[in-house]
Structure 1
Amino acid sequence: MRREDLIHPFISGNKFRKLKYNLLQAKLENHDTLITFGGAFSNHIAATAFAGREYGFKTVGIIRGEELESKILINPTLKFAQECGMQFKFVTRENYRHKADVNFIENFKLEFGNFYLIPEGGTNEFAVQGCQEILSPKDSEYDFVCCSVGTAGTISGLINSSLPHQKVLGFPALKGDFLNDEICKFARNQNWELITDYHFGGYGKVNAELITFINKFYSDNQIPLDPIYTAKMVFGVLDLINKNYFPEYSKILLIHTGGIQGIAGMNIKLKNKHLPTIDTDV
C-alpha cells in the first residue's frame, strides 16, 4: 500500500497532489483568492482551506446544502475549514448542480472579485499532472495499481504514469457510468478498468459490514481507512483476491488517497443512525 495519507497532516493524500500545480498556477496568474466546491464533509474543502492559509491565499468554499450554514460549529470539516480562514457560500442542492456552468461561476465575481477556480474534488489538468507523480520508476515491479475513484483525477494521473505491462484498476465510490467519460478526458493510455461492484450503495453510503471491515483492517495493520473512498477500494481488492480475479503471483499496489479527516464527521452520522463507529487514533 502506498501511504499517500502520510504526505501531509492536513493536505492529505491525493488532495496534496491535486492542489500542488493548481496553487503554482494561481500564483503564476497573480491570484490571491481560491474558490472551490464541496459537500458537508469534503476532504477537498478541508485541504484547500489549510493550503490557502499555508500559502497565502484567501479561500472561498461553495458548499452544497443551505441547511449547513447553521451547523458549521458541529460539523468537523466545515469548522476546521472556517478556522483556517475559509469563507463559505451555501447554495441549494439544485443550484449546486450548476457548479460547472460558466454563468453560474461568473456570478461569484460580483461577490468575491477575481479568483482562481478549482473544480469540485480538485480535478483538472493540473490535478492530473500532480497525480502522475504518485508512481515512480521503482513501481515498475507491480502488475496492478488500484485506487478509489471520485472525480477521476487520481486514476487519470496513475494511468498516464503507469507502464505498458501494468493495469490500473479504479474502484468508484459512487454509482453511475459517467466516470468512464471523465477519465477519457485526461487519460492517455488504455490499460485501465473500473470495478463498479464495491460502492456500497453510492457516494457517502456505508453499512455495518464496511465499518466492521475498516475496524478489523485498522486493528490488524494499524492503517486507518476512510469510509468514503479507500476503504471501499481495499475491501474490493481483497474480495477480488479471494475470488481469484488476479493471476497467481501478481504484485498489487494499493493507493491510499487519504481522507482520514472525514472519519469524525462520518462517526457523527453513524451514531445518529445507531450504527457501529469507526475506530481510529487519528
Structure 2
Amino acid sequence: MPGPPILQDLPEPLAERRGVRLRLLRDDVRHPELPGNKWRKLQHNLLAARAQGHDTLLTFGGAYSNHLAAVAAAGRLQGLRTIGVVRGEAASVLSPTLQQCRLDGMALHFVSREDYRRRTDEAWVQALARQLGPAYVLPEGGTNALALRGVAELVTELDAAAEPFDAFTVACGTGGTLAGLLLGLEGRRQAVGVPVLKDGAFLRDEIDALTQAAGRRYANYHLHLGAHFGGYARYSAELLAFIDAFYQRHRVVLDPVYTGKLLAGTLQLIDQGYFAAGSTVVAIHTGGLQGWAGFEQRFGARRPGG
C-alpha cells in the first residue's frame, strides 16, 4: 500500500467537550481501486498465491460483497484469474457489485444458500475446486492468518510515522480486521470493535479464536453493541441522516453498512465517557463505498455528495 498513513482530524463538538481528540484514518483513499482493509487482507495472500504457482483466486461472497469486489479488482490488476462463488441463485438483474466483478473479469459461480453454508467445509471446497479448476482459495471476507498479518501492519505504519494514539475503533463484520489490529497492538493501547450486525457479542469468540491461532490472546479490546441500526445492511433513516450530516461537517463519505455505524458508535462511546479526557482516538475508514450502488438499487438511498 503506497505512502504514509493519512489522518484527518474530526472536530466534533461532542468529542471536544469530552476532551477527546478524534481522528479518522483514511485507509479508504490510499489505493484507488482496493481501498482499506480489503487490500490489507489481500496483499500477503496475493504474494502467497504467486509463490505457490497459482494463477487463479477462488473466493466466496454475497451479491453486494466488498470482498468479492476487491478480489475481482485485485485479480485484474495483478493479472490473475478470479472466481467468485456467490450465495443464492443468479438474479435476472445482477447487483451493481456483481456487474463490476464481471467487468473486472471475475467468473461468477452461483450456489444455493444451503450449499453456501458449506463454504468452510474443506471437503466441499475441494470438490468445488476440482469442478472449477485449480485455485488459491480465499475464505469469505478474506480473513486468514496472512490477512491478519496485513492488517497488523497498520499499527506499525502509524508508529513509524510518529502518529501517537490511545485507541482504535473499527467496524466489525466477521472480526478479522479487529483481530489483526490486536496482533499489531500486542497488548499496548486499546481497540474497540463496532459490530454492524445485531447480537454481535458472539464476535468475541471469533476474534479470540483468530488471535489464538496466532498464539496470542488479548484483553485490550471492547465490542460496542449499540450501533447496528437494525442489523447487517438494513435500511435505517436514522443512520442515513447521520451519514449525510457527517458528510456536511467533514466532507467525508461513509457507507451505510460499515463505516457509518463505526462513526456513530464511536461518538456514542465518547458521549458515554468511555475514552478518558486527553485521549486520541483513531477511527479507521475501511472503505466499502462501492456498496452505495447496491444500497441505491435496493432502497433508493443516495450517496452523500453523489
Decide: shared fold, TM above 0.5. Answer: yes
Match of 1:36 in 2: 59
Distance 1:253 1:158 in 2: 12
Shift in Å, 1:163:
5.6
Q: Is the 8 A contact 2:201 2:223 kept in 1?
A: no
Shift in Å, 1:139:
6.1
Match of 1:184 in 2: 208
Q: Is the 8 A contact 1:140 1:163 kept in 2?
A: no
Distance 1:203 1:160 in 2: 26
Distance 2:219 2:289 in 1: 31
User: Structure 1 runs of 4+ off > 6 angstroms?
Assistant: none
Of residues 243, 260, 277, the one that matches 2:302 is 277
Of residues 235, 253, 259, the one that matches 2:288 is 259
2:154 is equivalent to residue 134 of structure 1: yes
Shift in Å, 1:67:
3.9
TM-score (norm: length of structure 1): 0.93
Q: Is the 8 A contact 1:3 1:257 kept in 2?
A: yes
Distance 2:188 2:25 in 1: 19
My pick for the range that moved more, 218-227 or 244-253, is 244-253
Distance 2:75 2:188 in 1: 39
1:41-84 deviation digits (Å, cap 9, x = unpaired): 1111111001001111110001111043x222xx2111110001
TM-score (norm: length of structure 2): 0.86
Shift in Å, 1:140:
6.4
Distance 2:187 2:49 in 1: 34
Matched letter for residue 178 of structure 1: F
Q: Aligned with 1:146: secondary structure? A: strand
Shift in Å, 1:180:
1.2
Query: Taking structure 1 as reference, are residues 113 and 66 closer, same or farther at Cα in structure 2, changes over 3 Å only?
Result: same
Distance 2:163 2:250 in 1: 25
Shift in Å, 1:226:
1.1
Shift in Å, 1:165:
4.4
Q: Aligned with 2:254: secondary structure? A: coil
Matches within 5 A, 1:4-153: 4-68=27-91, 70-72=92-94, 75-135=95-155, 136-137=158-159, 138=161, 141-153=164-176
Distance 1:250 1:104 in 2: 48
Matched letter for residue 89 of structure 1: H
Distance 1:165 1:90 in 2: 43
Q: Aligned with 2:153: secondary structure? A: coil
Q: Is the 8 A contact 2:292 2:302 kept in 1?
A: no
Q: Aligned with 1:19: secondary structure? A: helix
Distance 1:39 1:124 in 2: 19
Q: Is the 8 A contact 1:211 1:278 kept in 2?
A: no
Query: Taking structure 1 as reference, are residues 41 and 139 closer, same or farther at Cα in structure 2, changes over 3 Å only?
Result: farther
Matched letter for residue 249 of structure 2: D
My pick for the range that moved more, 140-149 or 54-63, is 140-149
Query: Taking structure 1 as reference, are residues 29 and 201 closer, same or farther at Cα in structure 2, changes over 3 Å only?
Result: same
Q: Aligned with 1:46: secondary structure? A: helix
Percent identical across equivalent pairs?
42
1:133-169 deviation digits (Å, cap 9, x = unpaired): 1123146621111000112221111111126441100
Structure 1: gaps spanning 5 or more residues: none
1:184-213 deviation digits (Å, cap 9, x = unpaired): 123333211111111112211130000000
Q: Give the number of aligned pairs.
A: 274
Match of 1:174 in 2: 197
Q: Aligned with 1:71: secondary structure? A: coil
Shift in Å, 1:234:
0.3
Distance 1:119 1:95 in 2: 15
Distance 1:119 1:28 in 2: 18
Q: Is the 8 A contact 2:192 2:221 kept in 1?
A: yes
Distance 1:257 1:280 in 2: 19
Distance 1:13 1:42 in 2: 14
Matched letter for residue 194 of structure 1: L
Of residues 220, 226, 236, the one that matches 1:197 is 226
Matched letter for residue 48 of structure 1: V
| Aligned CA-pair RMSD | 1.5
